[in-house]
Chain A
Amino acid sequence: MSQITSSSRRSFLVGSGSVAIGVSFGLSGTDLAQAQAQANAGSGYAPSAWVNIATDGTVTLLSPAAEMGQGTMTAMPMLLAEELDLDWKTVRVVQAPSNAKIFGNPRFGGGMTTGASRTVQGYYEPIRLAGLQARQVVLQAGAAAMGVPAGECRTELGAVIHSSGKRMSYGQIAAVAKAPEQLPAVDKSQLRPMRQFKIIGTDIDRVDVAAKTNGTARFGIDQRMPGLRYAAVLRAPVHGETPTSVDDAAARATKGVQQVVRLPYGVAVVADSWHTARKARDLLKVEWTNAARARQHNSDKVLAEYVARARKLDDAGVDFIKDGDASKAIAGAARTFSATYTSEMVSHICLEPMNCTAVVRGEQIELWAPAQSASFIIGAVGGAAGFKPENIKANITLLGGGYGRRVEPDFAVDAALVAKAMPGTPVQVIWTREDDIVHDKYRPMTAQHLVAGVDAQGRITGFLHRVVSEGIYARVVPGAFKASGGKDAPVMEGAEITYSIPGHTVQFMIEQRGINAGFWRAVGPGYTKFAIETLVDEVARGVGVDPIEYRIRMLDKNPRGAAVMREVAAMSGWGKPRQAGRALGVAFSDAWNTMCAMVVEISIANGMPVVHHVWSAVDCGVALQPRNVRAQIEGSMIYGLSAALHEKMTFKAGAPQETNLDRYRILRAAETPLVDVKVIVTDNHPGGIGEVGLPPIAPAIANAMATLGAARPRSLPFTRV
Chain B
Amino acid sequence: MIQLTLNNERVSIDAPPDTPLLWAIREQTNLTGTKYGCGIAQCGACTVHLDGEPVRSCALPLQAAAGRNVTTIEGLMKTDAGKALERAWNAAQAPQCGYCQSGQLMTAAHLLRTAKKPLSRTEILDGMNGNLCRCGTYNQIAEAVAGAQKAMSGGRA
A432 touches B39 (CB 8 A): yes
Residue ranges of A at the interface with B (Cβ–Cβ < 8 Å): 68-70, 205-206, 208-219, 221-222, 224, 230, 256, 273-276, 349-353, 398-403, 430, 432-434, 627-628, 631-632, 634-639, 642, 660-662, 666-670, 672, 674-675
* Leading 3 A-B pairs by shortest Cβ distance: A215-B33, A638-B136, A212-B98
Output the least CB separation between B127 and chain A (Å). Answer: 8
Q: A694 to nearest B CB, angstroms?
A: 10
Q: What are 29 inter-chain pairs, A to B, with CB distance below 8 A?
A: A68-B96, A69-B97, A70-B96, A209-B94, A213-B94, A214-B33, A215-B34, A215-B72, A215-B73, A215-B77, A215-B102, A221-B36, A222-B32, A274-B23, A350-B97, A351-B100, A400-B35, A401-B99, A631-B137, A632-B96, A639-B134, A642-B136, A661-B37, A661-B132, A666-B134, A669-B125, A669-B126, A669-B131, A674-B139
User: Cα distance A678–B38 when bound, in Å?
Assistant: 35
Known A213-B101, A350-B97; further 11 A-B contacts with Cβ < 8 A: A211-B98, A224-B32, A351-B100, A353-B36, A402-B97, A627-B93, A636-B136, A638-B136, A662-B40, A668-B132, A669-B126
Q: Mark B99-117, 1 if CB is under 8 A from A, else 0.
A: 1111001000000000000
Q: Is A216 a contact partner of B133 (Cβ separation < 8 A)?
A: no
User: Are B40 and A433 neighbours in the complex by a CB distance under 8 Å?
Assistant: yes
Total A-B pairs in contact (CB under 8 Å)? 172
A670 x B32 contact (CB < 8 A):
no
Taken together as a complex, chains A and B put the C-alpha atoms of A402 and B72 apart, in Å, by 26
- B15 at interface, CB cutoff 8 A: yes
**Inter-chain contact A351/B95, CB cutoff 8 Å:** no
In the complex, the answer to whether A660 meets B134 with C-beta atoms within 8 Å is: no
Q: Is there contact, CB below 8 Å, between B16 and A276?
A: yes
| Interchain nearest-CB distance for B139 vs A (Å) | 6
B4 CB within 8 Å of chain A: no
Across-interface contacts of B138 in A (CB, < 8 A): 638, 669, 672
Q: Is the CB–CB distance between B139 and A672 below 8 Å?
A: yes
Interface residues of B in 103-157 (CB under 8 A from A): 105, 122, 125-126, 128-142
> Do A669 and B136 touch across chains, with their CB atoms under 8 A apart?
no
Known: A205-B93, A401-B135. A219 touches B99 (CB 8 A): yes
Determine whether the beta carbon of A660 is less than 8 Å from that of B39: yes
Q: Which of A275, A350, A669 has the most CB of B within 10 A?
A: A669
Give chain B nearest CB distance to A357 CB in angstroms: 12
CB <8 Å contact, A661 and B38: yes
| B134 / chain A contacts, CB cutoff of 8 Å | 349-351, 401, 403, 639, 666
Q: Say if the beta carbon of B55 comes within 8 Å of chain A.
A: no
Rounded to whole Å, the gap between the CB of B122 and the closest CB of chain A is 8
Q: Whole-angstrom distance between the alpha carbons of A495 and B83 in the complex?
A: 48
Does B99 contact A634, Cβ atoms closer than 8 Å?
A: no
Q: Is the CB of A400 within 8 A of B95?
A: no
Smallest Cβ distance from B121 to chain A, in angstroms?
8
Q: How far is the CA of A487 from the CA of B38 in the complex (A)?
A: 37
Least Cβ–Cβ distance between B128 and chain A, in angstroms: 4
Decide if B38 touches A660 in the complex (CB within 8 Å).
yes
CB-contacts of B4-25 with A (<8 A): 15-16, 18-20, 23
A519 CB, min distance to chain B CBs, angstroms: 16
Q: Which residues of A contact B90 (CB under 8 A)?
A: 205, 209-210, 213
Chain A neighbourhood of B102, CB < 8 A: 215
Minimum C-beta distance from A44 to chain B (A): 33
Q: Which residue of A lies closest to B77 (CB)?
A: A214
Most buried by B among A215, A399, A627: A215
A206–B93 contact, CB under 8 A?
Answer: yes
Which residues of chain A have C-beta atoms less than 8 A from B27's C-beta? Answer: 230, 273-274
Chain A contacts for B137, CB-based, 8 A: 631, 635
Known contacts: A273-B15, A660-B40, A662-B40. The answer to whether A351 contacts B86 by CB under 8 A is no
Is B45 at the interface (CB under 8 A from chain A)?
yes
B-chain residues with CB within 8 Å of residue A636 when the two chains form the complex:
136
Residues of A within 8 A of B38 (CB): 433, 660-661
The answer to whether A634 and B126 have CB atoms under 8 Å apart is no
Is B43 interfacial (CB-CB < 8 Å)? Answer: yes
Is the Cβ of B135 less than 8 Å from the Cβ of A430? no
Q: Is the CB of A400 within 8 A of B98?
A: yes
Judge whether A666 and B23 touch: CB under 8 Å: no
In the complex, chain A residues whose CB is within 8 Å of the CB of B15: 273, 275
Residue of A nearest to B15 (CB): A273
Nearest CB of chain A from residue B105's CB, rounded to whole Å: 7
B36: which A residues are within 8 A, CB to CB?
Answer: 221, 353, 430
A432-B39, A670-B125 known; A639-B136 Cβ under 8 A: yes
* Contact present for A631 and B86 (CB under 8 Å): no
User: Bound state CA distance, A274 and B18, in angstroms?
Assistant: 13
Chain B residue, CB-CB nearest to A211: B98
How far apart are B98's CB and chain A's nearest CB, in angstroms? 3
Interchain CA distance A398-B94 in the complex, whole Å: 16
Q: Complex Cα distance A432/B142, Å?
A: 29
**Which of chain A's residues has its CB closest to B43's CB?**
A661
Cβ–Cβ contact A635 & B136, under 8 A:
yes
Contacts A432-B39, A661-B38 known; A209 to B98 CB distance under 8 Å? yes
Which residue of B is nearest A434, CB measured?
B39
Most B CB atoms within 10 A — which of A276, A433, A675?
A433
Q: Contact: B95 with A212, CB < 8 Å?
A: yes
Which chain B residues lie closer than 8 Å to A403 at the CB level? 134
Q: Which of A210, A212, A222, A661 has its CB near the most chain B CB atoms (within 10 A)?
A: A212
* A216 CB contacts on chain B under 8 angstroms: 33
Please name all residues of chain A whose beta carbon is closer than 8 Å to the beta carbon of B125 when the two chains form the complex.
669-670, 672
> Are B33 and A661 closer than 8 Å at their CB atoms?
no
Say yes or no: A433-B23 contact (C-beta < 8 A), given A69-B98, A351-B132: no
A351 touches B45 (CB 8 A): yes
Residues 37-92 of B contacting A (Cβ, < 8 Å): 37-40, 42-43, 45, 72-74, 76-77, 82, 85-86, 89-90
Is B136 a contact partner of A637 (Cβ separation < 8 A)?
yes
Asked if residues B32 and A213 are in contact (CB atoms below 8 Å), the reply is no
Whether B39 lies near A433 (C-beta < 8 A) is yes
Q: Smallest distance from the beta carbon of A49 to chain B beta carbons, Å? A: 26
Assembled-state Cα–Cα distance A101/B128 (Å): 45
Bound-complex Cα distance A221 to B23 (A): 12
Beyond A634-B139, A639-B136, whether A275 also contacts B20 by CB under 8 A is yes
Minimum Cβ distance to chain B for residue A422 (Å): 18
A213 near B39 with CB under 8 A, answer: no
Rounded to whole angstroms, the CA-CA distance of A221 and B35 in the bound complex is 9
Of all chain A residues, the one with the shortest Cβ separation from B82 is A214
Please pick, from A208, A662, A666, the residue contacting B98 in the complex, using a CB distance under 8 A.
A208
CB distance from A697 to the nearest CB of B (A): 11
Q: Name the residue of chain B whose CB is nearest to the CB of A71.
A: B96
A96 to chain B, nearest CB (A): 19
Residues of B within 8 A of A430 (CB): 36
B residues less than 8 Å from A432 (CB atoms):
39
B contact residues around A674 at 8 Å (CB): 139
Considering the chains assembled together, what is the distance between the CA atoms of A238 and B101 in angstroms? 33
CA distance A428 to B140 in the complex (A): 33
Residues of B within 8 A of A70 (CB): 96
B37, A433: Cβ atoms under 8 Å? yes
CB-nearest residue of chain B relative to A355?
A: B36
CB-CB nearest in chain B for A661? B42
B60 → A minimal CB distance (Å): 13
Q: Which residues of chain A are within 8 angstroms of B16 by Cβ–Cβ distance?
A: 256, 275-276
